[in-house]
Amino acid sequence: MRISLIFLLIFLFSSQSHSEVDDWSSYGKDSGGGHYSKATQITPENVKNLKKVWTHRSGDYHQGTNWTEDVTPNSSQQTSFQATPLLVNETLYYCTPYNRVFALDSETGEEKWIFDPEVEIEQKALLHCRGVGSWIDDNKSEEDECYHRIITGTIDAELFSIDGKTGQLCKDFGNKGRIDLRTGLGNHNPAYYYSVSPPAIIGDLIIIGGGIADNVSTSVPGGVVRAYDIRSGELVWYWDPIPPGQEPILDDTGRQLYQRGTTNVWSIISTDPELNLIYLPTGNTASDNYGGHRNGSDYYSSSVVALNASNGEVVWHFQTVYHDIWDYDVPSQPTFYDIEKDGKIIKALAQTTKMGFVFLLNRETGEPIFPIEEREVPQGAVEGDYVTKTQPYPTKPAPLTPTYLDPEDVFGFTPWDRGYCKKAAEDLRNEGLYTPPSLQGSVHYPSAIGGANWGGPAIDASRNILIANTMNLSSTIVMIPRSDCDKALKDLAKDSVQSRFSALQQNEGTPYCTIRAFGFMSPLGVPCTKPPWGNLTAIDLNTGEHLWQIPLGTSKDLAPFPFHWIKGAPNIGGPTVTKSGVTFIAATSDYYLRAFNTETGEELVKLRLPTGGHATPMTYKNKNGRQFVVIAAGGHWAVGSPASDHLIAYALPE
């Protein structure tokens, strides 16, 4: 009897520990994001014991131009490895900057298969892929072809359906396994339209938007969002983001054409099968920094838009920026959580923004969880354009980043470069958030790369804590009359510093081109904003209050010795959280994967990477109960970390 009892206890313990593999079946872990894993083997106490257990390298990377150089749509830009792998049925799936898809054994990192879409990588301004989609056909058995499908888009704007078991195309989908996403978009430069974010899936539909090149023309392809049947590839419906009541453009046969230059959806889409809703984070209408020609076509710009999944009709939308002329796209996945209010459970979502604001909304209705105020903003746009009198400000949570660059509080390594920043901040239009672009030049703070960006927040569902990484950087915009736009940048720039760190963008179809710097820099190449240049913040979603905020990363690998001491680094990527209370994030310009205590913000460990890990890590528990943490380390041109192709897995010693 005693032996039987012991075996029973062993069986129960084993079943509880290993009964369920913790799959990561969508980019954000779940279809509503959150990057939240229930795996608990790795804890705040033992995370310091993590060891590298395998590395996979695809070979798909190259060096190229960086953020201080030309990054036009036809330039040869450095690759950036931004993928978050999926885990489905013990197999990891990820895409490379060349859009090849790899299937790996999740225990060893060994290759199972490779799919190569053979994209043309020359003269592409964007060479990255953030992830793939996954779908299992309940009408088939595991032995059937395409029982499990991997869905992926490419920088060449094609959509592929791949057999998850073999890596072969599903021939019943589209044209022998592929769909041309350029259909209906009209003639355009191939570099102007691409698909780099993972397709969303709801029911038996694939939902996909597209990325559009910024500041090149008002006639770039439109931002249509399309729904395809996941088995056949047939187009089921589309949403063309034109304002209500505006007449669509028709071709000679009476079919609607996708309108050019409209709001696009380049970031990660969320879906809620229970509510039958799709949530779109929209960009802004072309061109980014001038909107005098839009005539209301930016009605859905810089918004969260909820669509009915059955027919693509708008259920509600919430606009985070009115008449956006600052390139303040909604950059990240609308992220789901639940909150109790007045005795009722509200299905909610959190939306991080480039302004450093977090909007908390009821995801059934779009109504705010906490009040949102209309506040007056700086006035006086360039001739032909306008700015609205007010913009929406959430009362909770408080902003994640500063919104005004005080000339008396600028930064520099020396009095000389600090003096340059002070004078420039005084000479430019500098009235805080939403200072309009101007002929004299305007400070843009936070910059168009954040605040927050596409990495999005993580939400610990067991604690209702949101974790978000942000940047504390400013940029500059100078509007140039069209008559001068054929001049060289060096002749138009106010000084050699502006010329070094800026790009001339043509904005064809508008009265202005722009000189745009993604970083407001000193002559020594140092941000004029005061450190920290990057933070990690925790928010209590029940109260809307900040729990803690800490500098994220250091200036190691960014600044020369002895300036490694600066805390808070530029960062691109996102966090992941676990039920055990650990937050994992790389993202920084220094080459580390870090782990933090979710409740306190205490840094628990940092693991050295071969280059910057500018992706969102993922974690999973395999069939034996062992928990892995996986991060892509491939660098990013915007923060100066060199390109590479390392996919690295960590685990506790067995």
* Tokens 């729990």, located at residue: 547
* Tokens 């073999």, located at residue: 166
Convert the pLDDT of each residue in 12-28 to its tens digit.
433 333 335 578 999 99
pLDDT of 70 strictly over 50: no
Are 146 and 140 in contact by the 8 Å Cβ rule? The answer is yes
At 13 the pLDDT is 39
DSSP state letter for 29: B
334 CB contacts (<8 Å, ≥6 apart)?
A: 32, 33, 270, 279, 280, 281, 304, 349, 350, 351, 363
- Between the alpha carbon of residue 610 and those of residues 61, 93, 364, the distances in Å are 14, 22, 44
At 193 the pLDDT is 93
* Tokens 């690295």, located at residue: 648
**Number of Cβ within a 10 Å radius of residue 184:** 18
Check 324, 327, 385, 460 and give the catalytic one.
Answer: 327
Are 288 and 215 in contact by the 8 Å Cβ rule? The answer is yes
Using alpha carbons, select from 570, 457, 460, 582 the residue that is nearest to residue 521: 570
Average pLDDT (129-154) is 97
Tokens of 393: 């400000």
Q: Are strands 576-578 and 36-37 parallel, antiparallel or unpaired?
A: parallel
DSSP state letter for 90: T
In this structure, of 230-239, 244-253, 402-411, 424-433, the range with the lowest mean pLDDT score is 244-253
- On the 0-12 / 13-18 / 19+ scale of CB atoms within 10 A, 599 is middle
Average pLDDT (448-452) is 93
Of 341-345, 510-514, 634-638, the range with the highest mean pLDDT is 510-514
Residue type at 584 in one-letter notation: F
* Tokens 């029982």, located at residue: 147
| Alpha-carbon Rg for the chain in angstroms | 24
CA gap 287, 216 in Å, rounded: 7
At 84 the pLDDT is 98
Phi and psi dihedrals of 131, rounded to 5? 165, 175
pLDDT of 68 strictly over 60: no
At 189 the pLDDT is 86
Superfamily of domain covering 21-651: Quinoprotein alcohol dehydrogenase-like superfamily (2.140.10.10)
Average pLDDT (465-481) is 97
At 549 the pLDDT is 98
Tokens of 104: 């790996």
Average pLDDT (183-188) is 87
Convert the pLDDT of each residue in 363-381 to its tens digit.
999 999 999 999 999 999 9
Convert the pLDDT of each residue in 495-552 to its tens digit.
889 888 899 999 999 999 999 998 899 998 899 999 999 999 999 999 999 999 999 9
Number of residues that this document lists for the chain: 654
pLDDT of 630 strictly over 70: yes
Average pLDDT (387-393) is 98
Segment holding 2, helix H or strand E = helix 2-18
- On the 0-12 / 13-18 / 19+ scale of CB atoms within 10 A, 165 is buried
CA gap 133, 162 in Å, rounded: 10
* Tokens 């900040």, located at residue: 546
**Number of Cβ within a 10 Å radius of residue 311:** 10
577 CB contacts (<8 Å, ≥6 apart)?
A: 35, 36, 37, 458, 459, 460, 465, 467, 583, 584, 598
The DSSP line for 417-445 is: HHHHHHHHHHHSB--STTPPPBSS-EEES
Half-sphere exposure of 350 (CA within 13 A, CB side): 31
Q: Are strands 111-115 and 101-105 parallel, antiparallel or unpaired?
A: antiparallel
Convert the pLDDT of each residue in 550-568 to its tens digit.
999 999 988 777 777 899 9
CA gap 511, 508 in Å, rounded: 8
Task: Give me the torsion for CA of 642, 648, 653, 654, rounded to 10°.
Answer: -170
**Number of Cβ within a 10 Å radius of residue 488:** 9
Average per-residue pLDDT in the chain? 93
Strands of 358-362's sheet in order across: 335-341, 344-352, 358-362
pLDDT of 124 strictly over 50: yes
Please, which pLDDT band fits residue 61 given cuts at 50, 70 and 90?
very high
179 CB contacts (<8 Å, ≥6 apart)?
A: 158, 159, 160, 173, 228, 233
- Between the alpha carbon of residue 233 and those of residues 160, 201, 238, the distances in Å are 9, 13, 13
Question: Is-catalytic flag, 327?
Answer: yes
Tokens of 48: 């310091």
Q: What is the pTM of this model?
A: 0.95
Tokens of 134: 């996954």
Q: Assign 3-class secondary structure to 269-301.
A: CEEECCCCEEEEECCCCCCCCCCCCCCCCCCCC
549 CB contacts (<8 Å, ≥6 apart)?
A: 400, 535, 536, 537, 538, 601
At 65 the pLDDT is 65
pLDDT of 206 strictly over 70: yes
